């Protein structure tokens, strides 16, 4: 049976500007995976550990965060904080004997860049390979 993953992406306004281009159709035109549910946040520094865990509780097979470059965050340290929280959830997943690769952090350039779509495709490929979340009952 084919597996269609559910992936939740938390991205800041600045790194996900493509989601607004071409009346919101550009990502689709560039091949951004349909499996990804994009949640835009003002700054990834606002994304808490509980926010990330809630995504898994809500049925995500994979979760990732896209924030500004480490040395170029619009809010100075926001994306660095997000990276540390993603790392904390990775560790917690390992403690639960779950693949830590189900959650990732990407620091990408702000604006319209192909890396944003490439990260989505890479995440979709990885979660398809990992299979359904072990948290699905």
Instruction: Choose the binding region for another protein from 7-15, 64-72, 88-96, 108-116 (rule: CB under 8 A).
Output: 88-96
| Contact region with another protein (CB under 8 A), list: 5-13, 46-54, 62-70, 107-115 | 46-54
Q: How far apart are CA 123 and CA 134, in angstroms?
A: 17
Per the structure block, which two tokens stand in for 102? 């189900």
User: Quick check: 117 and 11 in contact, CB under 8 A?
Assistant: no
Half-sphere exposure of 131 (CA within 13 A, CB side): 6
50 belongs to the binding site for another protein (CB under 8 A): yes
CA dist., res. 18 & res. 10, Å (int)? 14
- Told to check if 100 binds another protein by CB under 8 A, we report no
Selected from 34, 48, 114, 131, the binder of another protein by CB under 8 A is 48
Rg for the chain, CA atoms, rounded? 14
Is residue 64 at the binding interface for another protein, with CB under 8 A as the rule?
no
Nearer to another protein, 6 or 110 (CB): 6
Residues that bind another protein (CB under 8 A): 48-50, 53-54, 56-57, 92, 95-98, 134-137
């Amino acid at each position: 049976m084919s597996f269609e993953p559910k992936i939740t992406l938390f991205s800041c306004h600045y790194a996900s500007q493509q989601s607004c281009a071409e009346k919101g159709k550009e990502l689709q035109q560039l091949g951004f995976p349909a499996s990804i549910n994009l949640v835009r946040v003002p700054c990834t520094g606002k994304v808490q550990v509980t926010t990330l865990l809630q995504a898994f509780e809500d049925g995500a097979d994979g979760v990732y965060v896209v924030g500004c470059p480490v040395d170029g965050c619009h809010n100075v340290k926001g994306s660095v904080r997000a990276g540390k929280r993603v790392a904390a959830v990775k560790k917690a997943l390992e403690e639960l004997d779950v693949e830590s690769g189900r959650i990732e952090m990407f620091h990408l350039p702000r604006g319209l860049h192909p890396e944003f779509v490439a990260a989505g495709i890479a995440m979709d490929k990885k979660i398809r390979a990992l299979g359904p979340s072990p948290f699905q009952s």
